[in-house]
Structure 1
């Protein structure tokens, strides 16, 4: 009995401590962010509830963005990660804020080594390594990275910051409770994005906390390149026996930073070729393998002495389903062909546009974007994203997390690759890759197969129509015996058969252009309807 009381008391104390921690954290978050909420509300209505909107200079927004960035940094890892995610969300935040939030990537200070010892000791055994340098070589919002030696091999050890998971889970609970309040004051154009963004962010950050998932992604991407026989890419090996959810041990692969052009040239590497290899590696991962590295900032890309591209840090990595891969290719092809309806279809298929959105209005906006871009001397990836997201702000438009990673890869890669080759054209490189790897032909074959399927279904439906039409006309004839004469009904029937014969003839012509083997079937359908038409016409004659 005493033991049960003790357990209940401990449970009560634990719940109370959680409530206190939750409340204190909530107060701190509100104290830091509430002033910015008031400022943004005053931008819409000068006196919060009434008044005109305010027009502020870019300098004012830049100052506010820096202060908001500092507030996020002060609130810790969850909000640093939110800022990093927002830096790639032009559908949610203005460009001036996105540009400032990018700097959060390198703003997190490293913590003392003694804080990392428990994770190492508990998960993999502190003495498992032959040697371990306590001075971190890199630090981020969620983890720190160290050098060491394991079984004679040089390794890199990524260790999750202590207590970070509990803190993030508390912050996520707070965010879930605040989202409904934010929705009440958010502009209607942002509500579609905000409604999905909280869930997207939660999944992203929890995945990034899980080093076992990162290890699986690394192994899969490494195996994909090896199975292709592609020797231009290096993915570090994972040491599974000294890795866990909180600790990730990888082979140390030395390389020259990809943006260090002077050293690359001194080592005999051609920067333009390096740029092409990086771009092709990303196209291969995304469009052929379906699993890709999602954080291509300069610190995560290097070139080894053999000229191979080395990828580091797979915490932010993504996966494409075959349907998503096809949609991305189709979206690109639709954009190249100025097919606005096709662009809208693929945006809906990717989950970026609400299916209930006004297609005519969205199409008009996209036509304006295309006209604006066609009139420019230079068009880059970042400009396209800014133009499209800026003009679609008024619609229920959002960027799904996997597509967000693609945009991030495109935007950051373009900047990195132009440091290697100032003339590098990301979109032209994409077009070359799609053509050389048969994606253009594959997309055309898929479209033809889709048309064939639709025409087959239509043809079989036409085959069943005579019986259905006969029953329907007989039923109507019975109903109208008191008000209509038989010749009138027969006339309607023969007209219906004539229309069906003409429709089936057109359908057969289309089907033959896609799949000639169906020509006899289509011709048979046409003959059936012609026979029924002739028979009905004879019945019509007095």
Structure 2
């Protein structure tokens, strides 16, 4: 409890000055007065100070800054750009602090050799070179005490969120309500090296099943791994953004860019499990030209439903179908189902017009424009979608270092077309249309029986009405019904031709039958 209170005081003392500044931007005297104008340079200075404050508070807030750098629905662009620099900017800790985890979890003497000098370090773990059973390996060790610290910080954040909701503008409430849970899940998953090992193995097996020899995923050594220690095969490669070294080794940077993009599209849209942190330190090219992926702490899953939504969203955007775009945003959890669809539709039409008027459109520009215009609505970026946006934003920057002309949107379109996703989506739409038409046809076929029952009921109610008049009314109603059925069935048959000629033929035959019944009913004389 003492630790919790001390940590709470430190966090509150760090962020209170920033909170007061932002509140004064809305009301000059906090509870009264109009808003005040803040210059771009002042926002940049605040962003740098806020970044330094997060760095000083340690791993939890470093991760929060990294998450916020990909959340343009919550923070202005100037702050997001500054938070991007929070790439695990934590100095390496002494090796002696790592020994307990190694000794307790996998046995310190399990390795043939272990270099105590870390080759990489982050806010959550440090990475070392070692040898195991004659093989060179990489050992990732979680920082001591980091889980307790993060869990304490998460408890504090959960206490602060209600206050944040009270003070924040209403348009942010939908995003903020979900962000705490989203962030907690993300950081706890990244702390779990068992999960990281499972994701690595699954991705490795997926590429192996495809017989894809353009990608290399390091092997996991399960017998010397735990939730705090992860031992992987050492795969040497040239940093993916070291263009001169790649060219000197005989690799074409433009071809490398294409293979990196293809690997990510394959992971996300075909395998459903993907590497989520494509910054330059996590991508390399080995001597055989294969793309090497490192560090799977940030990795995600794409369910079949999400994959379908992404493809449908792309198709809807291409066809400028605003209603379909809204449907897919709701399906992805990005837009509140209760949002004003008409208002959102008008905004999306402006977004499409804005993007079509641009000479050159890139991934980041699309995200900035869409999120900027949807800020006024109950709009948020779910964690899985956020990870995809992160992959797209960081990945696009990496790919353009390899090929300044690289167009990630054109590459996505090409992938969808070459792998049959567009044909698959079209087949699904046709199948849905066929199902709707089948339902309509059966409803039409059952309609005469329903009309007959309704007429019998009416006749029972009108026992005092002359019989001749009743028969005449029944004949007229039946004739009108058959006419409607004939016309409706003919229209449905015309619509169903592109889907199935068999259904169309059946529909025409049924329509002809209704015409015959109509003629017979019309010519029949009342008794």
TM-score (norm 2): 0.95
1:113 aligns with 2:95: yes
TM-aligned CA distance change 1:498 to 1:211, over 3 Å: same
TM-aligned CA distance change 1:483 to 1:199, over 3 Å: farther
Which residue does 2:441 correspond to in 1? 459
CA distance in 2, matches of 1:82, 1:431: 33
Which residue does 1:306 correspond to in 2? 288
Which residue does 2:128 correspond to in 1? 146
CA distance in 2, matches of 1:216, 1:539: 77
CA distance in 2, matches of 1:209, 1:534: 77
Which residue does 1:367 correspond to in 2? 349
1:491–1:540 CA contact under 8 A, matched in 2 = no
Which residue does 2:41 correspond to in 1? 59
2:296 partner SS = coil
CA distance in 1, matches of 2:153, 2:125: 18
Shift of 1:469: 3.3
Which residue does 2:315 correspond to in 1? 333
Which residue does 2:398 correspond to in 1? 416
1:318 partner SS = strand
2:448–2:481 CA contact under 8 A, matched in 1 = no
Shift of 1:538: 5.2
Aligned residue pairs total 524
Which residue does 2:508 correspond to in 1? 523
TM-aligned CA distance change 1:281 to 1:535, over 3 Å: same
Shift of 1:140: 1.1
CA distance in 2, matches of 1:291, 1:189: 32
Shift of 1:342: 2.1
Which residue does 1:232 correspond to in 2? 214
Per-residue CA shift, 1:176-230, capped at 9, x if unaligned? 2222221112212111111122111111111111101100100111111111111
**Residues 230-309 of structure 1: matches in 2 within 5 Å?**
230-309=212-291
Structure 1 portions without partners, runs of 5+? 1-18
Shift of 1:354: 1.6
2:54–2:61 CA contact under 8 A, matched in 1 = yes
Per-residue CA shift, 1:468-503, capped at 9, x if unaligned? 333334435555677996345654454344323322
TM-aligned CA distance change 1:202 to 1:524, over 3 Å: farther
TM-aligned CA distance change 1:534 to 1:217, over 3 Å: same
1:503 aligns with 2:488: yes
2:131 partner SS = strand
1:56 partner SS = coil
Which residue does 2:380 correspond to in 1? 398
1:462–1:525 CA contact under 8 A, matched in 2 = no
TM-aligned CA distance change 1:125 to 1:347, over 3 Å: same
Shift of 1:65: 1.1
CA distance in 2, matches of 1:479, 1:48: 73
CA distance in 2, matches of 1:167, 1:490: 83
Which residue does 2:110 correspond to in 1? 128
CA distance in 1, matches of 2:459, 2:373: 56
Structure 2 portions without partners, runs of 5+? none
Shift of 1:55: 2.2
1:217 partner SS = helix
CA distance in 2, matches of 1:419, 1:39: 38
CA distance in 1, matches of 2:237, 2:162: 47
Per-residue CA shift, 1:400-431, capped at 9, x if unaligned? 11111111111111101111111111111111
2:493–2:505 CA contact under 8 A, matched in 1 = no
2:111–2:133 CA contact under 8 A, matched in 1 = yes
CA distance in 2, matches of 1:465, 1:21: 73
CA distance in 2, matches of 1:33, 1:489: 80
1:514 partner SS = coil
CA RMSD of aligned residues (A): 2.0
CA distance in 2, matches of 1:399, 1:473: 55
Per-residue CA shift, 1:76-116, capped at 9, x if unaligned? 21111111111111111111111111111141221111111
